[in-house]
């Protein structure tokens, strides 16, 4: 096996670790009600209010910082546990959760008054969201497709009798 091929084996795990680090780093802001988080979710909640959905991004809203942070914590956990060869299917689940959260994050940065640089950090938050979104897509479609198909099959087995 060539050196490049050996190295290529570790790419999905490196992507998963990177994603988990980004998600876990953001939790210190979301779970401590940091002023930067208040600014972002406050701006989103104000925007949602103009559309007739006030409180959607508030502290008890459906898309509050705590809900989003909890999904990011779940995604991180699955991505990290999925580093173990026996639990690769969990890494696929973490990438899927990350894809869902980051799709929302990138969309809200692009299509709401939030904008690309709400924290005046040179767009770092937006760049991290885009990178995690891209990594989630590559993990799901390029590396973990069989695990996602199997996960979908198992979900269908569970819900079919219902």
In a domain, 87, yes or no: yes
In a domain, 2, yes or no: no
Measure the CA–CA gap between 153 and 92, rounded to whole angstroms: 14
Range of the domain at 146: 10-159
Q: What pLDDT does 161 receive? A: 79
What is the model's pTM?
A: 0.87
In a domain, 131, yes or no: yes
Q: What pLDDT does 1 receive? A: 64
In a domain, 136, yes or no: yes
Overall number of domains in the chain: 1
In a domain, 1, yes or no: no
Residues in the chain, pLDDT under 50: none
* Listed residue (102, 138, 127, 106) closest to 16, CA to CA: 138
Q: What pLDDT does 70 receive? A: 97
Q: What pLDDT does 53 receive? A: 95
| Residues 98 and 136 sit within 8 Å (Cβ to Cβ) | yes
Two tokens at 2? 């060539």
In a domain, 4, yes or no: no
In a domain, 3, yes or no: no
Measure the CA–CA gap between 128 and 6, rounded to whole angstroms: 27
Measure the CA–CA gap between 47 and 113, rounded to whole angstroms: 7
Q: What pLDDT does 41 receive? A: 96
In a domain, 72, yes or no: yes
Two tokens at 63? 């898309």
């Amino acid at each position: 096996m060539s050196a490049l091929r050996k190295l290529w084996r570790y790419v999905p795990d490196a992507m998963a670790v990177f994603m988990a680090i980004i998600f876990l780093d953001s939790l210190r802001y979301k779970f401590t009600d940091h002023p930067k988080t208040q600014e972002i979710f406050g701006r989103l909640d104000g925007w949602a209010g103009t559309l007739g959905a006030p409180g959607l991004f508030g502290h008890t809203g459906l898309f509050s910082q705590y809900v989003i942070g909890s999904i990011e914590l779940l995604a991180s956990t699955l991505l990290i546990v999925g580093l173990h060869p026996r639990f690769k299917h969990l890494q696929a689940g973490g990438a899927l959760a990350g894809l869902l959260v980051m799709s929302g994050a990138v969309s809200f940065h692009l299509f709401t008054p939030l904008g690309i640089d709400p924290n005046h950090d040179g767009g770092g938050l937006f760049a991290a969201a885009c990178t995690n979104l891209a990594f989630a897509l590559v993990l799901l479609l390029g590396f973990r497709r069989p695990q996602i198909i199997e996960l979908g099959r198992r979900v269908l087995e569970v819900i079919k009798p219902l």
